[in-house]
Structure 1
Amino acid sequence: MMFSKESIPFAPSLIESMRSLGYSFESAIADIVDNSISANANKIDIKVSLGNKPYVIIFDNGCGMNKSELEEAMRYGSKNPLEKRAETDLGRFGLGLKSASLSQCRKLIVVSKKDGQISCYSWDLDYIIKNASWSMIGYTNQEVKLFPEIEMFNDVETGTYVLLEQFDRIEESTNDLHKTLTNKIDSMINHLSLVFHRFLERKVEISVNNKKIDGRDPFLSYHKGTQIKRSQNVNINGFNIVVKPYILPHLNKLTLKDIEKVGSKESLRNEQGFYIYRNERLIIWGTWFRLERKDELSKLARVMVDIPSDLDYMWNIDIKKSSANLPDIIKRNLYNCVIEAVGGSEAVHTYRGRKTKSTDINHIWERIEVRDNCYEYRVNRDIPQLKILEASLNLKQIKYLNEVITQLEEGFPITSLYVDVAKGKVVEQSAEDEERIEELYTQVKEQVEYAKENGMDYKVIAKAFISTEPYCNYNNIINKIKGVYEIE
């Protein structure tokens, strides 16, 4: 007859194996911060000591836990991933606090304050190995007072303190623990500023060693040059997914601060794609889920996708909350957003600085279709700069000029240019450079004056200049030339 028998995993083996779930240092700390935000904390202090016995503390002013609640929170698998979660709950498997912490260190201590009472428990890997059991360590209030920076509780009615000690794996991987931890802390700050940017922008303050972290908005939504496309709502099994494409401004319109927000010039290309948020927490970004390939022209495209925690099972979100799979059921809906976003990004590059609705712009370079949707680029021989020059040359000199221009066209280093642009190594003139604008105005004025002195129709030429690149891009130049030469 069938019967049941409970089989309890051997604690030392399982808990050591769970340290290898793939957490990075920064993703582990982010997982702990999730718990603070889920506890409605609006202030989270991360303290890092890089002394002989380094430690990391994550302290929050959230709702805190009493003794029984803390015991439950410290239990592995304390929540069923299939249970319905509150909208503010960033957890999923009931494993994050333990698995994330112990992936980086051998000793996790959690102290919590609620209803005026302090409770404390610890998972110590060496203690578990010694006792060969799932045994936590409890601490008295007197013992708790000996923990580093525990006095932070004096300033809050409720809150939780997480202490990580004994970073064995990091120590074993480096000859310079101080330098390695410093680098990891820098990466952690950058990671937290991105993953929690929507919280940091509105309601939560996170600081590291008393230095406040600013949110890193990957969409540059504050920038006047960012194009925010229409939102789309996708209903799946009664739950709403919100999709919103963004097109970032061209690189030459970004300040150093803007570039820091998106990470770097290289990040512009590498981090294009979907940005998947679960309850406003960023879980995966910089991928098109194979709906589109990354290339130079699509690098300004970003698509924000807000998913509710109710659909976790469909997205296959992992324990670390750092990867997900795109469900087939919404691929068709998202593909239309990809087309819109990528098309917008390409337009920023292709038509940057041009009045695309006008047919009266003289572009310096003409894009000419030759065959099979392929193109070549030729210098526009009708721009006024060349027309004035040709008027001063004889037929033989004009022939030589055209030969030189043709050689320049044929020798155009398009492959090298593509590589340099892809790496963000091309320096472009800023549209806000006043000296450059004045220089361009002087060029136009000198050439129009030359035409006037040599009996040409200078008003026609002046009008041609203000509809020709690069002069047509600057209203100051257009207005000045119209005023000086009385052009309508």
Structure 2
Amino acid sequence: MVASLSALGYSLPDALADLVDNSVSAGARNIGVEFTWAGSESWVAVVDDGDGMSEESLVTAMTVAARGPATDRSPVDLGRYGVGLKSASFSQCRLLTVCTATSGEWCTRTWDLDLVEGTGEWRLLRTPPPAAAEVLERLTEGRLQGTVVLWQRLAGYQGAGEGDKRTQQQFYDETDTVQTHLGLVFARFLTGANRLTLKVSGVQVEAWDPFLMSHQSVRRLPPEQLPLNGLAVSVQPFVLPGAQRLTDAEYTAAGGPRGWLRHQGFYVYRRDRLILAGSWLGLRGLRREERYNLARVAVDIPAETDAEWRVDVRKATVVPPVALRQHLIRLGHMVQKEAAETVRHRGRIAARQHSGPLAFPWNVRREGGKVSCKVNRRHPLVQGVLQGGASDSAQVRALLRLLEETVPVPALRVLHEMDTADDPEPFGGPGPADAQAVEVAQQMFKVLLSQGRTAEEARAMIRTTQPFDQLVGFWST
């Protein structure tokens, strides 16, 4: 049993998230995850100011599977199988001690797995080893209630010397990974009026919002309530703003710890706790592609439907119920389509800000499964060069420069299912035009005048031509 519980596939961040679940369920408002290096005596602890447990409740909590998935739970209880504390802890350590109090009187129980395996008996110790007692005294000093979960004899660090700097650095590097993971899993608890304070080694965990709900450019598609066994599964699709509407810092943060591609898809929540982040749930026809990077969908499942969703022991994976799969596939395709259209037609969005249609130097299309990219023969500068027989070298140079600056990278990328954040901006991007941009515009101006337009008409046409609609120059007034 010990070996089985130790091999359930917990990562360190997953295991600590399971302990934080217990703290949240106990009404804690302040939770600290502490890492302390001491070679093979290193330890990790989760300390909270929750309601604590009576001695009887502590013994129940330390008993494997004392509470199964059918046990009635409070509306704020994040548990499910009754093995989270033990399975998460046994996956990371050989010595587990829990110390808890409800009104100033602390009681303790310890599992020593070396003792359990050596004796073949489940001996739950009332008195912790001296090294554990010393740590607990420090962590509970001045506290009247709450719970401390202490891990010692950590997996992977047995035999490590206290002076081993490389291993010490690896140990503390884990804090960054844990901090990021907890900020994702408990994001909803870390925001709002009654928000939870969660720290890792004294550093406050910041919530990561995968839906950028505070950004004015995010699009919320119509939400739906999907019926399941008399309850409702809430689904809210989002289309995030593209890189051009985000600062560099916003874009990097929105990509998440695993990058844009791996964070598209469904986000499944159970009682506001994230179970699964960024997955298309293995649903037919839904797969990760770069053009869908802006598509994210929040799914809130009632805890009473855990069995239907097959929530696992680690609360890290789910399988969508058969009754909901067609609905989820439909919603997934819808948000994917909207996300791809947002990237593909960003030029059309810009066009709505102007009085007339924008003129683009390139025409990019996909027909018959093939992508074509051709120069727009109706563009005024192209017409001027063609009509003049290419005799004016200045016009030719201006046309070539314009074509170089406006290569349709975004459209080609979408059609070829590729993506990067560093799209080239024509002539350096929006703002005052540089000398090269002005030269190209002047040649266009000359061509338009030669075609019989007035000066005002010529400037108006330039203003509605890419990329001059985003640049400031003589055509702007």
Q: CA deviation at 1:302?
A: 0.5
State yes or no: 1:382 paired with 2:378.
yes
Q: CA deviation at 1:125?
A: 0.6
Partner of 1:287: 279
Q: CA deviation at 1:428?
A: 3.8
Partner of 1:62: 50
Whether contact under 8 Å (1:440, 1:471) holds in the other structure is no
Partner of 1:9: none
Whether contact under 8 Å (1:66, 1:115) holds in the other structure is no
State yes or no: 1:161 paired with 2:148.
yes
Partner of 1:351: 345
State yes or no: 1:188 paired with 2:178.
yes
Partner of 1:227: 219
Q: 1:294 to 1:439 in 2, by over 3 A?
A: farther
Partner of 2:420: 424
CA distance in 2, matches of 1:122, 1:430: 66
State yes or no: 1:309 paired with 2:306.
no
Query: Residue 166 of structure 1: SS of its match in structure 2?
Result: strand
CA distance in 2, matches of 1:400, 1:442: 15
Query: Residue 64 of structure 1: SS of its match in structure 2?
Result: coil
Query: Residue 198 of structure 1: SS of its match in structure 2?
Result: coil
Whether contact under 8 Å (2:105, 2:144) holds in the other structure is no
Q: 2:68 aligns with which of 80, 89, 93?
A: 80
Whether contact under 8 Å (1:298, 1:345) holds in the other structure is yes
Q: 1:98 aligns with which of 61, 67, 86?
A: 86
Q: 1:35 aligns with which of 22, 26, 29?
A: 22
Query: Can you list the C-alpha shifts for 1:222-268, whole angstroms capped at 9, x where unaligned?
Result: 12221111211111111111000011111233234323433459611
2:82 partner amino acid:
G
State yes or no: 1:467 paired with 2:459.
no
Whether contact under 8 Å (1:72, 1:78) holds in the other structure is yes
Whether contact under 8 Å (2:188, 2:273) holds in the other structure is yes
Query: Residue 463 of structure 1: SS of its match in structure 2?
Result: helix
Query: Residue 233 of structure 1: SS of its match in structure 2?
Result: strand
Partner of 1:255: 247
Query: Can you list the C-alpha shifts for 1:70-95, whole angstroms capped at 9, x where unaligned?
Result: 11111111212023432211110010
TM-score, structure 2 length as denominator? Answer: 0.85
Whether contact under 8 Å (2:380, 2:444) holds in the other structure is no
1:305 partner amino acid:
V
1:319 partner amino acid:
V
Whether contact under 8 Å (2:189, 2:272) holds in the other structure is yes
Partner of 1:6: none
Whether contact under 8 Å (2:175, 2:201) holds in the other structure is no
CA distance in 1, matches of 2:116, 2:78: 29
Q: 1:122 aligns with which of 96, 110, 123?
A: 110
CA distance in 2, matches of 1:369, 1:145: 67
Q: 1:262 to 1:412 in 2, by over 3 A?
A: closer
State yes or no: 1:268 paired with 2:260.
yes
Q: CA deviation at 1:126?
A: 1.1
2:62 partner amino acid:
M
CA distance in 1, matches of 2:275, 2:98: 25
Query: Residue 381 of structure 1: SS of its match in structure 2?
Result: coil
CA distance in 2, matches of 1:135, 1:432: 71
Q: 1:430 to 1:29 in 2, by over 3 A?
A: farther
Q: CA deviation at 1:69?
A: 0.9
Q: 1:431 to 1:197 in 2, by over 3 A?
A: farther
Whether contact under 8 Å (1:283, 1:323) holds in the other structure is yes
CA distance in 2, matches of 1:447, 1:421: 36
Q: 1:266 to 1:447 in 2, by over 3 A?
A: farther
2:218 partner amino acid:
T
Whether contact under 8 Å (1:217, 1:261) holds in the other structure is no
CA distance in 2, matches of 1:88, 1:422: 42
Query: Can you list the C-alpha shifts for 1:375-394, whole angstroms capped at 9, x where unaligned?
Result: 41212122234345556654
1:332 partner amino acid:
Q
CA distance in 2, matches of 1:430, 1:133: 73
With 43-52 and 373-382 compared, the bigger mean Cα shift is at 373-382
State yes or no: 1:47 paired with 2:41.
no
With 291-300 and 242-251 compared, the bigger mean Cα shift is at 291-300
Q: Using the aligned pairs only, state the percent identity.
A: 25
**Which runs of 5 or more structure 2 residues have no equivalent in the other structure?**
none
Query: Can you list the C-alpha shifts for 1:348-379, whole angstroms capped at 9, x where unaligned?
Result: 11011423785822223213454x35441212
CA distance in 2, matches of 1:415, 1:360: 18
2:112 partner amino acid:
D
CA distance in 1, matches of 2:16, 2:424: 39
Q: 1:125 to 1:117 in 2, by over 3 A?
A: same
TM-score, structure 1 length as denominator? Answer: 0.83
CA distance in 1, matches of 2:23, 2:307: 23
Q: 2:323 aligns with which of 329, 332, 353?
A: 329
CA distance in 2, matches of 1:164, 1:369: 58
Query: Can you list the C-alpha shifts for 1:430-458, whole angstroms capped at 9, x where unaligned?
Result: 99966566779846764466458868523
Partner of 2:290: 296
1:267 partner amino acid:
G
CA distance in 2, matches of 1:220, 1:299: 13
1:135 partner amino acid:
R
Query: Can you list the C-alpha shifts for 1:52-82, whole angstroms capped at 9, x where unaligned?
Result: 2211111011111111111111111121202
Q: CA deviation at 1:278?
A: 0.8
